[in-house]
Amino acid sequence: MARPDKEAAVAELASKFRDSGAVLLTEYRGLTVAELKELRRSLAGHAEYTVVKNTLAAIAARKAGLEAFADDLKGPTALTFVTGEPVEAAKALRDFAKDNAKLVVKGGVMDGNVLNAAEVEKLASLESREVLLAKAAGAMKASLSKAAYLFVAPASKAVRTVDALREKQEAAA
């Protein structure tokens, strides 16, 4: 590749590193073109799966401020630039790797933090954003209901006490 072409490729990769919410590393050794096409289809809408030269990716990662990430680029490595939810992309990679043992998730970077393969697996095991938000809303609603009950309890107790006294006086009369 000519020097200007390499510089353009590095600039484009550095831009992708900066613009992505997360970047996941995989080893794709032994996968067929059809399998890679299927993987790209499963990631559509969440991420872009790209095979790049390690040296160019390492230079681009350093330009994007990801020094530690550049050290993980060894062997046949493909980058998954996540544009959507990182959890969804990690799940898609994990599910594809279950069916195709040749795909190995090596690690990644999310919000500037380098992730190892186990951390990417943890990310994939998280529930979707919508489910987590629904659980948080349910917990908040439960806390608010409990607080409302505590504020109303003294007043309702006073009303029951007054009713009991009135019934006692009516029975005595």
Residue 81 and residue 134 share a domain:
no
% pLDDT > 70, the chain: 98
Residue 72 and residue 137 share a domain:
no
Residue 40 and residue 104 share a domain:
yes
What's the mean pLDDT in 136-147? 77
Measured in degrees and rounded to the nearest 5, phi and psi for residue 5 equal: -65, -40
Query: Last residue of some domain: 109, 126, 143?
Result: 126
- Read off the pLDDT band of 17 (50, 70, 90): confident
pLDDT of 71 reads: 67
| pLDDT greater at residue 95 or residue 135 | 95
3-class secondary structure, 2: coil
What's the mean pLDDT in 24-32? 86
What's the mean pLDDT in 107-130? 80
Domain count, the chain: 2
What's the mean pLDDT in 81-88? 85
Range of the domain at 151: 128-172
Q: In angstroms, how far is CA 92 from the centroid of its own chain? A: 11
The answer, yes or no, to whether residue 130 has pLDDT greater than 80, is no
Residue 68 and residue 29 share a domain:
yes
Residue 98 and residue 144 share a domain:
no
Residue 141 and residue 116 share a domain:
no
Q: What is the CATH number of the domain that holds 79?
A: 3.30.70.1730
Among the listed ranges 37-46, 102-111, 135-144, which one has the minimum average pLDDT value? 135-144
3-class secondary structure, 112: coil
Residue 106 and residue 95 share a domain:
yes
pLDDT of 113 reads: 80
- Read off the pLDDT band of 103 (50, 70, 90): confident
Question: Residue 107 pairs with which residues in a beta bridge?
Answer: 25, 116
Q: Which residues contact 61 (CB under 8 A, 6 or more apart)?
A: 13, 14, 17, 67, 69, 70, 73
- Read off the pLDDT band of 1 (50, 70, 90): low
Residue 122 and residue 132 share a domain:
no
CA 1 – CA 56 distance, rounded (Å): 11
Q: What CA–CA distances, in Å, run from 171 to 139, 161, 168?
A: 46, 15, 5
